[in-house]
Amino acid sequence: MKRIAVVTSGGDAPGMNAAIRAVVKIGLAKGWDVFGVRKGYAGLITGDILPLGEREVSGIIQLGGSMLGSARCPEFKTGDGQRNALSQLERNSIEALVVIGGNGSQTGAHALSRLGFPVVGVASTIDNDLYGSDITIGVDTALNVSLEAIDRLKVTASSHHRAFLVEVMGRKCGYLALMAAIAGGAEAVIVPEQETDPEDVAGELRAAYDNGKAHAIVVVAEGARYNAEEMEHYFQEHQERLGFELRVTRLGHVQRGGAPGSFDRLLGTRSGAAAVELLANGKQGELVGLIKGEIASTPLSDVVANTKTLDMHLLDLARVLAR
Ligand code: ADP
Ligand code: F6P
C-alpha cells in the first residue's frame, strides 16, 4: 500500500476532523502518501482530490464539521456515479479509500468495495443509527449541545406555567431524543420507534406541574410521527381543553455544529488510526466502530444488511425517571 485517500460524507459530525487527522498522520507514519477528497462523494466523482501532509491536518482536532467538506450526492447512488468515482481514484493512483460517515455513506462504501475497490469505513453520524458501532463519532457532542439547550429551557420553564418542547435530530432514529430526555431529566419523550398519543404527552406534562414540579419538558425526535410541528399544531388546536401552552424549540443543525468534546476527539482518533491499521494488515470492506468499549470492525456487508435498534428498556427507564 502506497497511496490512500480519505473522504467525509453525508451529515458532518463533530469528531470527523480528529478521524481525518489520524488517518493522515498514521498513513504518513507508515511512509504512505495520503490524499483528501473534498465534498464527499461529489468530490470523488469530479476528482476533487488533494494531497494531505501533517501541516494540513494541524490545528483541526478541536474543530467541528469536516475540513474536507461533505455532501449529499444522489449521483453516487447510481452505477455511473460509482464508476466515475472509481475512474478518478484510478487516475490519481489511489489504492484504498477511508470513508468517514453514516448509514448512507457506508452503503456507498460497500458499493465501491463490491466493485473491487479496497474501502474501510469509519462510523460517524450524530444520529447513532449505524449498525456496527454502539456509539458513532459526533453523538456525544450533539447530545451535550442538546443538554445545554434543555438545561436552559428548564430555567425559563420554571418561571412560567408553560410546557416546553425540544425537537432533536436523528432522522428515523430516536437515540438522541431518548438519551437527551434521560440525561436532561425531561418529563416526556417521543421517539419514532414507539407510537405516541399526544394526549398522553399532554397528560404527562400536566402531571409534572400538578405534582409540584417546576418545569415540564418533552424531548421529541424529528423523525417521530408527532414531531415538533405536529405537536405544536395539536396543542394549538386543543389549547383550551388542555389548559396550557406549549413553547417549541427546534434545535436543528445547531446540534451538529458543536466543537467535539473529548469523547468524540478520542473516538475519531482511535477509529481513524484503526482504519489505517486494517488497510496495512491487508483488510478491506470493513467498518471501524466502537463495540462494547473496544475499537472493532464489522464487515460492510453486515453493516448494510442490519438495522441498529433502540434499547426499549431505556425508554421505560426514561418514563419512570420522569415522574
Ligand atoms: P449519512 O452517511 O450521514 O447517513 P446520507 O444518507 O445522506 O448520509 O448518505 C451520504 C451519501 O452516501 C449520499 O449522498 C450518497 O452519495 C451516498 N449513498 C447513500 N445511499 C447510498 C446507496 N444506497 N448506494 C450508494 N451510495 C449511497
Ligand atoms: O444525518 C445527520 C442529520 O443531521 C440528521 O439528524 C438530519 O435529519 C439530517 O442530517 C439533516 O440533513 P441536512 O443537513 O442535509 O439538512
Q: The domain that contains 243 carries what CATH number?
A: 3.40.50.460
Residues 162 and 65 placed together within one structural domain of the fold: no
C-beta 137 within 6 A of ligand 2: no
Q: What is the CATH number of the domain that holds 8?
A: 3.40.50.450
How far apart are alpha carbons 228 and 212 in whole angstroms? 25
Residues 247 and 266 placed together within one structural domain of the fold: no
Q: Please report whether residue 186 resides in a domain.
A: yes
Mean pLDDT of the chain: 96
- From 12, 127, 129, 264, active-site residue: 127
Residues with beta carbon inside 6 Å of ligand 1? 9-11, 41, 72-73, 76-77, 101-105, 107-108, 111, 125
Say whether 127 is catalytic: yes
| Mean pLDDT computed over 147-167 | 91
Say whether pLDDT at 185 is over 90: yes
Read off the pLDDT band of 88 (50, 70, 90): very high
Pocket test for ligand 2, best of 9, 127, 308 (most atoms within 8 A of CB): 127
- The reported pLDDT for the residue numbered 162 is 81
Say whether pLDDT at 161 is over 80: no
Instruction: From the CA of 253, give the closest atom in ligand 2.
Output: 4
Say whether pLDDT at 1 is over 80: no
- The reported pLDDT for the residue numbered 321 is 94
| Residue 198 domain boundaries | 140-257
- The model carries a pTM of 0.97
Give the H/E segment covering residue 296: strand 294-299
Ligand nearest to the CA of 130: 1
Q: Please report whether residue 295 resides in a domain.
A: yes
Task: Give every CB contact of residue 187 below 8 A, 6+ residues apart in sequence.
Answer: 204, 205, 207, 208, 213, 215, 216, 217, 218, 322
Say whether pLDDT at 30 is over 80: yes
Q: Please report whether residue 314 resides in a domain.
A: no
Give the H/E segment covering residue 34: strand 33-37
Say whether pLDDT at 242 is over 90: no
Q: Please report whether residue 223 resides in a domain.
A: yes
Cβ(99)–Cβ(23) below 8 Å: no
Span from the CA of 106 to the centroid of ligand 1 (angstroms): 7
How far apart are alpha carbons 13 and 127 in whole angstroms? 9
Q: Please report whether residue 276 resides in a domain.
A: yes
